């Protein structure tokens, strides 16, 4: 693994200082896009100059929009709206942002709430058969992330099923790119998204990290997701590390074997934390061409898509 660049070291130092200061809203310009962030938020470090962080989502959005003229994006775990802002800076898009956390919602509303081509859904998204009478609460991390946990004290957040989401936001019938960043709940949620939006066959882009998945949804086997996605027709995948560095393009069915690195090696040994994965449907020629385009920098010896 290459040593950190000077910009990376400066960014980490700035974050180390900021997390020790009282938090407050601050204006930041990240990748040329102005937004309101909590001072302790880690985005300026992750998306520092020269970092490929978030470029994969932007590239997916841009290529689909170039082929189809416009894009409908579903952003689950929208946080402060950074993904939506990055995409909208380069792409003509309509975005539905799903974010249940009241703390992030304040920033999300400030950053994208006034845009007429953005809708905000302030709910926890769950599968179509989930019990929405159960309760979930938010647990905050130190650098601008959060995750949901089950609680029994009645302090839970509003929940919405994928079926209800589509009914409440009918423009999602044409969704062509879905981003899911739910810190452990993606393995539960992504198959429900594949089923809910099968008519439009969107490219699905999501985090895959077995450790928080086992903590958040112990009833699930993380690697079962690959066979489920293949069953829905999602046979091709591209994988990045969580910093946005391209790792490979393989058939989805191979990812059970290839993801062993996430259990067999520590983050320090493998040089990154977890995977970001994009999958395209076998009957979606635009999606397949999009995966081929975003994986074009792989070495010629690296396995490419199965078609």
Tens digits of residue pLDDT in 47-75: 999 999 999 999 999 999 999 999 999 99
User: Average of pLDDT values for 286-292?
Assistant: 98
Q: What pLDDT band is residue 183 in, cutting at 50, 70 and 90?
A: confident
Q: What pLDDT band is residue 304 in, cutting at 50, 70 and 90?
A: very low
The predicted pLDDT at position 140 comes to 52
Does 173 have pLDDT greater than 80? yes
109 lies in some domain: yes
The predicted pLDDT at position 110 comes to 98
By residue range, what is the domain housing residue 271?
51-130+158-294
10 lies in some domain: no
Give the Cα separation of 194 and 178 in Å (integer). Answer: 9
Q: What pLDDT band is residue 22 in, cutting at 50, 70 and 90?
A: low
The predicted pLDDT at position 302 comes to 47
64 lies in some domain: yes
195 lies in some domain: yes
Q: Which of 62-66, 122-126, 131-135, 229-233 is the least confident region?
A: 131-135
CA dihedral 252, 176, 129, 77 (to 10 degrees): 90
Give the Cα separation of 113 and 107 in Å (integer). Answer: 9
Q: What percent of the chain has pLDDT over 90?
A: 77
- β-bridge partners, 276: 207, 240
Cβ-contact 241, 273 below 8 angstroms: yes
Neighbours of 303 (CB within 10 A): 12
35 lies in some domain: no
Does 12 have pLDDT greater than 70? no
The predicted pLDDT at position 17 comes to 45
- Which residue, 50, 120, 57, 121, is CA-closest to 91? 57
Q: What pLDDT band is residue 28 in, cutting at 50, 70 and 90?
A: very high
The predicted pLDDT at position 153 comes to 53
The predicted pLDDT at position 202 comes to 98
Does 129 have pLDDT greater than 90? no
Give the Cα separation of 53 and 164 in Å (integer). Answer: 32
The predicted pLDDT at position 222 comes to 97
**Total-model pTM:** 0.87
Q: How far is CA 185 from the centre of its chain?
A: 11
Does 277 have pLDDT greater than 90? yes
User: Average of pLDDT values for 169-195?
Assistant: 96
103 lies in some domain: yes
- Which residue, 259, 256, 250, 254, is CA-closest to 292? 250
User: Average of pLDDT values for 10-14?
Assistant: 53
Q: How far is CA 166 from the centre of its chain?
A: 19
Give the Cα separation of 101 and 11 in Å (integer). Answer: 26
Count how many domains the chain has: 1
The predicted pLDDT at position 231 comes to 98
Instruction: Give the up-direction half-sphere exposure of residue 296: CA atoms within 13 A in the CB hemisphere.
Output: 9
**Residues in contact with 291: Cβ distance below 8 Å, sequence separation at least 6, in sequence order:** 203, 236, 237, 238, 249, 278, 280, 305
The predicted pLDDT at position 107 comes to 97
The predicted pLDDT at position 134 comes to 55
The predicted pLDDT at position 100 comes to 93
Q: What pLDDT band is residue 297 in, cutting at 50, 70 and 90?
A: confident
The predicted pLDDT at position 301 comes to 45
Q: What is the CATH number of the domain that holds 193?
A: 3.40.50.150
121 lies in some domain: yes
User: Average of pLDDT values for 135-147?
Assistant: 55
């Amino acid at each position: 693994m290459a040593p950190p660049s000077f910009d990376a070291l400066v960014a980490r130092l700035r974050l180390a200082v900021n997390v020790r200061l009282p938090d407050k809203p601050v204006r930041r310009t990240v990748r040329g896009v102005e937004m309101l962030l909590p001072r302790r938020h880690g985005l300026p470090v992750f998306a520092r100059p020269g970092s490929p962080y978030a470029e994969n989502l932007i590239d997916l959005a841009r290529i689909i929009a170039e082929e189809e003229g416009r894009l409908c994006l579903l952003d689950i775990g929208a946080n402060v709206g950074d993904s939506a802002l990055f995409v909208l800076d380069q792409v003509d898009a309509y975005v539905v942002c799903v974010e249940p956390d009241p703390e992030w919602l304040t920033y999300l509303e400030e950053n994208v709430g006034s845009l007429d081509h953005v809708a905000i859904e302030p709910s926890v998204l769950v599968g179509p058969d989930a019990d929405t009478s159960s309760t979930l609460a938010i647990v905050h991390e130190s650098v601008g992330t959060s995750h949901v946990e089950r609680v029994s004290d009645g302090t839970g957040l509003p929940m919405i099923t994928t079926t209800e989401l589509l009914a409440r936001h009918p423009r999602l019938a044409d969704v062509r790119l879905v981003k899911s960043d739910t810190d452990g709940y993606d393995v539960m949620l992504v198959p429900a998204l594949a089923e809910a939006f099968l008519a439009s066959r969107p490219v699905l882009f999501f985090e895959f990290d077995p450790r928080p998945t086992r903590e958040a949804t112990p009833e699930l086997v993380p690697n079962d997701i690959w066979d489920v996605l293949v069953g829905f027709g999602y046979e091709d995948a591209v994988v990045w590390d969580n910093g946005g560095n391209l790792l490979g393009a393989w058939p989805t069915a191979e990812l059970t074997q290839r993801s062993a690195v996430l259990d067999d090696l520590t983050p320090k040994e493998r040089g990154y934390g977890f995977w970001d994965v994009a999958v395209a449907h076998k009957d979606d020629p635009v999606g397949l061409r999009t995966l081929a385009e975003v994986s074009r920098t792989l070495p010629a010896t690296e396995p490419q898509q199965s078609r």
